[in-house]
Each structure stands twice: as C-alpha cells, then as structure tokens.
Amino acid sequence: MTRVAVITGASRGIGAAAAVEFGRLGYAVVVNYHSRRDAADSVVEAVDQAGGKGIAVAGDMRVREDAAGLIRAATENFGRVDTVVCNASTPIKQAAFADMPWEDFATKVTDELAASYHVTQLALPVMRAQRYGRLVYVSSGQAERPGAPGMIGHGSAKAALNTFARYVAYEEGPHGITANVVAPGYVRTDSSAAAGTAQIEAHIAARTPLRRVADPLDVGRVIAMIGSENSGFATGITVPVNGGVTLAP
C-alpha cells in the first residue's frame, strides 16, 4: 500500500520541502498550489526523483469547493488520504495593534482558520473510513510569544490555529486520526533573502543555541516525521522547530 500525503501551499518554501521529504518516504504526494503552476510542477518532479509520485492540484484552501477538489484529486488518483499538511499561507498585514483596522485583523484570523478548516473537514470522512489519518498544521512560534513588532494579527491567527488543532486531535482520536502542530521560528526563504534580512538573521542566529537560522528543509523533515506512520501515539502537541531560540533569556 502506498501512503498518500496532501500538502497545501506546497509550491515553495516549507510546503515544497515537506513534499520532497514525503517523496523520500515513498508517499504519493498531492502538491497544492495557488497560482504558480510552474513552481508546483518543479516540486512534483523533485518528489518523483526522491522516490515518490507527485501530482499538482490548484486551489485556494479558503474556498471550500477548491478544498473539496484537492481531496477528490487525492482519492481519484491514489485511492486514499493518509496525511494532510495544512501549510497554505495567508497574507500578513503588519501593523501595531493601535493602528490596525478591525477588518485587517479579522480577515487574517478568518483566512488562517478557513485555510485549515475546509480541507480538514473534507478529509475526515476518508480518514475515518480508513481508521487512519495524520493531520499536521504549520503554525508559528509567534503564537506563543511576540517575535516582532506589528505581528499581532499573525500571532493571534496562529494561536487560534493551535487551539483548533488540539480540538481536532481530541475529537478525532477515537477514529485513529492524530492532529499535531509544527511551529517554526524564523525560516530563511527566497522571499526573506530577497528582503535583505542579513542583519536580522545574524541577530537571531546569535541568540540560537544551534547558531543558525532554519531553512525550509529543517521544518519539512519534522513535518514528514510527525505526519508519517512513525508518529502514531503523539497527538494534540505542538513541536517547535526553532533551533532552541526560546531557551535563550
């Protein structure tokens, strides 16, 4: 039997790294993307080269019909859904609380939850029928403590996601389904590198026991571990992937 992983927001960054790691484990991987089909196709090729079997499926996970299409693509192509990784990102509008309009704050929280809510709910009937499922939610260390000025919307949205995941874990455990959170700290990506964050990265690395910042593969490997058969009795937990930076005073 070939296990099947569905990964939202998988055309780049953490999602792409996780997709390739599941490929290394021999999974069939459904690579969801929003607009960059060329990038998604590159990830599919990398999944295939790693030993898995990938397909690319477009969709905005905030839209229930798109989420339904993603789960349908997995079942029609591969017959099952073993793992769902909710990684699709939603726009961040940085602003101090005193200056943030309610509409911006509410949109961030609502979009963050919608991007996980629909695909989770739609995958559950398949997982329940299998008596097996792994749900992984990509959150942020900023859900636990402020990491930068102006990130109150992002941090609040991710904190809500963490609570959502714990409730899913509690309710779905009797059906053989686990739900866990992976919470990265700062991760070096193409977008962060282009923004010229060398000084920020140096500061974070100096405060991190491992003396560097994360790259997407660091997080992708943890996602694959938590989302695989090797993690069968861990549920409702949040795994920080931050090099130990929160240990620093």
Q: What is the pLDDT of residues 105-156, one digit of tens each?
A: 999 999 999 999 999 999 999 999 999 999 999 999 888 888 778 899 999 9
CATH number for position 153: 3.40.50.720
Closest to 22 measured CA to CA, from 221, 214, 184, 178: 221
pLDDT band at 201 (very low <50, low <70, confident <90, very high): confident
> How do residues 32-47 score in pLDDT, each as one tens digit?
999 899 999 999 999 9
pLDDT band at 245 (very low <50, low <70, confident <90, very high): confident
Percent of the chain beyond pLDDT 70?
96
Is it the case that residue 53 has pLDDT exceeding 60? yes
Angstrom distances, CA of residue 32 to CA of 10, 29, 53: 5, 9, 14
First to last CA, the chain: 48
Count: domains in the chain:
1
Rounded to whole angstroms, the Cα distance separating 123 from 138 reads 17
> How do residues 211-230 score in pLDDT, each as one tens digit?
888 899 999 999 999 999 99
CB neighbourhood size of 48 (10 A): 15
pLDDT band at 193 (very low <50, low <70, confident <90, very high): low
What was the pLDDT predicted at 91? 86
**Domain membership of residue 223 as a residue range:** 4-247
Cα dihedral 103, 141, 58, 83 sign: negative
What's the mean pLDDT when you consider all of the chain?
93
pTM of the entire predicted model: 0.94
What was the pLDDT predicted at 184? 94
> How do residues 63-113 score in pLDDT, each as one tens digit?
999 999 999 999 999 999 999 999 998 888 889 999 999 999 999 999 999
Is it the case that residue 194 has pLDDT exceeding 60? no
